[in-house]
């Protein structure tokens, strides 16, 4: 299993809406993530500045490259684009983070 971490940003004042949308995550999106081999996926919020910190495990990190092409993923990104920083294709601006310490 490979552990990945990344940073994103929610717009000011949209923290509750971000939480609400994730509380009601679409079953087909959850299924897609699990089918891709993703597990132990968490997103944390720093409410001081709207920074989001995501961490997940994936069986095969190369499978992550397939997600942006999937219609459900694209639909989710479009759904989320009004409340967070996104790229031109509506994917979230996501900055990979380097692991510097791990205590198993």
Distance CA 67, CA 83 (A): 21
The whole-chain average pLDDT of the chain stands at 97
Residue 70 contacts residue 87 (beta carbons within 8 Å) = no
Task: Please give the CATH topology (third level) of the domain spanning 2-95.
Answer: Alpha-Beta Plaits (3.30.70)
Q: What percent of the chain has pLDDT over 70?
A: 100
Measured CA angle at 39 (ends 49, 17), to 5 deg: 35
Residue 11 contacts residue 83 (beta carbons within 8 Å) = yes
pLDDT digits (tens, 9 = 90+) for 50-69: 999 999 999 998 999 999 99
With bands split at pLDDT 50, 70 and 90, how would you rate the model's confidence at 73? very high
Residue among 20, 22, 34, 63 flagged as catalytic: 22
Asked if 22 is an active-site residue, the reply is yes
Domain ranges of the chain: 2-95
DSSP at 75: H
Distance CA 63, CA 90 (A): 20
Q: Quick one: average pLDDT of 16-45?
A: 98
């Amino acid at each position: 299993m490979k552990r990945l971490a990344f940073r994103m940003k929610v717009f000011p004042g949209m923290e509750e809406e971000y939480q609400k949308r994730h509380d009601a995550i679409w079953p087909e999106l959850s299924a897609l993530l699990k089918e891709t081999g993703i597990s132990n996926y968490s997103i944390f919020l720093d409410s001081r500045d709207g920074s989001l910190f995501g961490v997940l495990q994936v069986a095969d990190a190369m499978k992550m490259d397939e997600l942006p092409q999937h219609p459900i993923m694209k639909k989710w990104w479009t759904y989320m684009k009004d409340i967070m920083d996104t790229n031109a294709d509506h994917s979230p601006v996501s900055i990979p983070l380097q692991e510097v310490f791990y205590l198993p």
